Structure 1
Amino acid sequence: MSVPARLSLGMDRADITPRHPVPLAGYATRAELGPATDVSAPLRLRTLAFGAGRERAVLISADLLWWGTDIATRVRRDIAARYGLRPESVILHATHAHSGPQTSAGFTALLGDPDAGYVAELEAAAVASAGRALGSAVDVWMERVTCEAGIGTDRRSARSDGAVEPAPIDSDVTVVRFFDEQRTRALMVHHACHPVVHHGNVVTSDFTGAAMDRLEERHGDVLAVYLQGCCGDVNPDLYRDGVFRDGDQSLVDEVGGRLAEAVEKALKGEPTTLTATSPAASQWTVELPVTDVPSVSDLRRAAPGDGLMGQWARLLLEEPQRLRPHVTVRLSRLHLADGLTLLGMSGEPVSAYGLMVRTISGGSVLPLGYTNGMTGYLVTARQLAEGGYEAAEAPYYFGMPGPLAPEAEEILRDALLDAIWPSRLS
């Protein structure tokens, strides 16, 4: 029997908890609460550096709501320049935790104002972490295993108390284990569910961070890296009569424990052995059409308002280049092994896209949201017809010129197919 090829793996963990009170991002209801002064759980930045042959790539997963496109561009450029990488070989991913600082000035203030001092510290921490990971490589083998987690629910249906027909969601957890002759070195945990258990004005990594912390404690000297899937319409199953039952850190730890136990269950399953290849990274953009693009006169009429639409109008008047009939989504592809590719989207994709990618690829391609920037929600034509927050309201929070057009779904699906099968592009 031939021995599968190994991959060079470097690892690093850094604390990115704010060192001074900062406004939090994630809930518009916090806009009037001021900076958060308490920390229930630290925020972490976890870095994996991959290498084989001459190629190297860096994946950073941070307990953040997202990496704003502005900061992501700077950090990726700085890491690439300092360590001799191609910018497309640097992947910045966020767990989508809703109780950390804002990282972008590109959205309405209701999503949270960025703290310049914190953003500077975050950028420096990411660059330094990439360097430490690149300098700490060991040779590892890889294997992949999947089982059902059963943590999330279709939140659009749950919010309506069943009035909206539930859509299928991706309820699996996929674990990639990196190991050598001595022990497990790292775990990549892929799942799709909003980390929104905690709604208070307190810093926490929410249940995804709690789960990774628990896995690291349980397995000793292991780095557990969470990869957030297509969770735009998925919340933890904490609804009662259409109302979400949020809680404090104890509930965060409880839900995190459920995810950690799902990972442990997966690790007891029959794994698929992966044969490493040279890390192959690529990046491209797709333009998705929008509807109802306003005129400048429309914006001027709305600009004096105090609420969301006033903020939105002022943002677009300050940045008139946004007044286009489309928005740009950045796609990032990182192929690590025969049977393992990461596919990132700079947006908040709903389950339909994640299910499509995982089903068509046979589970070999893991779809990621919140990667290398943030555009807005990536919804389906059905959801646009139904309306609701993700489809009809959120575009204005994100400073999009209007909601996505129904034909955006087909365009995005085609782009994802091209990413699954790059030969379609040749």
Structure 2
Amino acid sequence: MLLLMQKCVLCCLLVFVSGMGLVSQLQAADAPYSYGFAKTDITPEVPLRLSGYGNRAEVYEGVDEPLYIRAIAIQTPDQKICSLVSLDSIGFAASFVDRIAQQLKQKHGMNRDQLMVCSTHSHTSPQPMEGLSNIFSTPMTEAEQQAAQKYWNSVEARVVKTVGEAIQNLRPGTMSLVTGKVGFAQNRRVLKDGKWTGFGVNPDGPVDHSLPVLKVTDEAGKLRGLIFNYACHCTTFGSDYNRLNGDWAGYAAKYIEEQHGDIVAVCTIGCGADQNPVRGKRDVAKDLAIGHGRAIALEVNRLLKQPAEELKAELKTAFGFANLPIDAPLESALKQALEHPRPQVRQHAKNMLAIIKTAGELPETYPAPVQVWKFGKQLTMVFLGGEVVVDYALRLKQEIKTDSVWVTAYANDVFGYVASERMREEGGYEYDFSMIYYNQPGPWAKGTEELLIHRIHELVKQAR
């Protein structure tokens, strides 16, 4: 009799525990997503050398607009925390993001696939200490390097702090997608008889004028913040403009935030490496940048009044690398380049010859970061390192089989241009010459586009 009673009690306990597990699963499935935002000023305390153009030789003359870190944190129903961070900067190396990722892993348990760090690629922002290491014809002085290192150390710490503040700001809410268009981006690769002839406006060249917006509202329907993406270089200002400014991306975020009160507008840049905004001389460049920013803000304002698709699918994440093959120069060609009239070319040759002397050969590949965030069949977000040309976004939007595809470049590592296969025959800056400034051995080898696209598809599948 006692044995029978013990069995009955055990069965009841099993049913109770099983029922609790089922309730827990149902609660997790029904639980809402939570979202948090944070924003931190990263305007330098002292003038620094601005990046983006090789002929800049002096620290900046003044500050037009402050620079910021903007971040969103997302907590999934199963308590996983992801964060997307945008910096008003030209970019940064993977080592910078790796250190941030390690700290956020320790502080908040975030895995590498849960953190995204993007740049707006403004050409009126400070020169990084890691990345774009061969851009200047006049190298930075020791004092300029020390000031820049101090600044970037503070930015690194502030990114970690900003993500933490976004996590503290987490509240239940809804994220919805709506997409519009803005037309100021122009294909800059001028061709004649199928060959690159210089920078300008190519009215027949491919562009991506889409403006996707992810808006976040609270449980009462009030706007809390948003993410927007546009494929265009932040090069409204030319090399003759030596003042700190976030360019059109900074103005766009500023005006969106001013129009909607206490929100944060996070900007990411699409595959705009071969896309320039409408540009002008120094005396009109600022007005043009303001106009571009207002154009984005006006379209975002219109989109916020339109019906939007709520993202209800589970967020899946994946991170990896595509080992891009390098078409390295011969040692004899590097020795000839030691006599080149351009200082950056001579310095590049010295650097590469030093690597050959030490390692015996130049690197054969570069680990380009690829990251995917996927909301079921509703939205696939692809984040690519480097300065990626528009062909990749246009192709991925055709090949990835989800309702919407969002492609961001300048993410996690700005290591060089990522030109498409057609540019091999066309030639020109993005393919032939740009790697000099990034201190890469040479352009990417034939087949790079297919290799990168294949790796992206692998990670899209992994995120499922």
Question: TM-score of the superposition, structure 1-length normalised?
Answer: 0.89
Equivalent of residue 155 in structure 2, options 122, 126, 136: 122
Matched ranges for 1:97-112 at <5 A: 97-110=122-135
Aligned to 2:290: 253
1:27 to 43, 49, 53: 53
Match of residue 37 from structure 1: 61
160, 175, 186: which one pairs with 1:142? Answer: 175
Q: Are the structure 2 counterparts of residues 261 and 325 from structure 1 closer, same or farther at C-alpha, using a change threshold of 3 Å?
A: same
Q: Does 1:10 align with 2:36?
A: yes
Q: Residue 421 of structure 2 contacts residue 449 of structure 2 at CA under 8 Å; is this kept in 1?
A: yes
Aligned partners of 1:68, 1:313: CA distance in 2, in Å? 21
Tell me, yes or no, if the aligned pair for 2:85 and 2:116 is still in contact at 8 Å: yes
Question: Does 2:312 correspond to 1:288?
Answer: no
Distance change (3 Å), C-alpha of 1:353 and 1:161: closer
- Code of the residue aligned with 2:322 in structure 1: it is V
Q: What residue identity is the alignment partner of 2:163? A: A
Q: How many Å apart are 1:369 and its aligned residue?
A: 0.8
Cα drift, residue 272 of structure 1: 1.6
Q: Is the 8 A contact 1:381 1:409 kept in 2?
A: yes
What displacement does 1:68 show?
1.6
Which residue matches 2:259?
218
Q: Secondary structure at the match of 2:458?
A: helix
Structure 1 residue 197 corresponds to structure 2 residue 233:
no
* Aligned pair partner of 1:90 in 115, 128, 131: 115
1:389 lines up with 2:429 in the alignment? yes
SS at match of 1:23: coil
SS of the residue 1:105 aligns to: coil
> Whole-Å Cα distance in 2 between the matches of residues 116 and 317 of structure 1?
27
The one-letter code sitting in structure 2 at the alignment partner of 1:194 is H
Q: Secondary structure at the match of 1:24?
A: coil
Q: Deviations over 1:20-41 (max 9, x none)?
A: 01111111121x2x11130111
Unpaired runs of at least 5, structure 1: 239-243
CA contact (8 A) 2:318 2:459 kept: no
Q: Secondary structure at the match of 2:257?
A: helix
Aligned-partner Cα distance in 1 for 2:205–2:455: 22
1:153-164 to structure 2, matched below 5 A, reads 153-157=186-190
* Superposition TM-score, scaled by structure 2 size: 0.82
* CA distance, structure 2, for counterparts of residue 386 and residue 19 of structure 1: 44
In the alignment, the residues of structure 2 paired with residue 165 and residue 150 of structure 1 have an alpha-carbon distance, to the nearest angstrom, of 12
Q: CA RMSD, aligned part only?
A: 2.6
The 5 Å alignment of 1:10-409 reads 10-30=36-56, 32=57, 34-52=58-76, 53-110=78-135, 115-157=148-190, 166-180=204-218, 181-199=220-238, 200-238=241-279, 247-277=284-314, 279-295=315-331, 298-299=333-334, 302-303=337-338, 307-319=343-355, 323-336=362-375, 339-361=378-400, 362=402, 364-409=404-449
Task: Give the whole-Å Cα distance in 1 for the aligned partners of 2:381 and 2:286.
Answer: 31
Separation of aligned partners in 1, 2:449 and 2:252: 33
Residue by residue over 1:327-372, the C-alpha shift from the partner in whole angstroms, topping out at 9 and shown as x without a partner, is: 2211112235652333211111110111122333355331111111
Which amino acid in 1 is paired with 2:205? Answer: A
Q: CA deviation at 1:299?
A: 4.0
Q: Secondary structure at the match of 1:25?
A: coil
Change (3 A) 1:222 1:385: same
C-alpha contact (below 8 Å) 1:22/1:37 kept by paired residues: no
1:63–1:423 distance in 2 versus 1, CA, 3 Å: closer
Count the aligned residue pairs.
413
In structure 1, what residue type is equivalent to 2:266?
Answer: V
Larger deviation, residues 315-324 vs 169-178: 315-324
Q: In the aligned structure 2, how far is the partner of 1:96 from the partner of 1:4?
A: 39
Aligned 8 A contact 2:251 2:294 in 1? yes
Contact 2:374 2:381 in 1 (8 A): yes
Percent identity over the alignment? 27
Highest CA radius of gyration, 1 or 2? 2
CA distance in 1, matches of 2:463, 2:100: 30
- CA distance in 1 between counterparts of 2:446 and 2:50 reads 33
1:61 aligned counterpart, secondary structure: strand
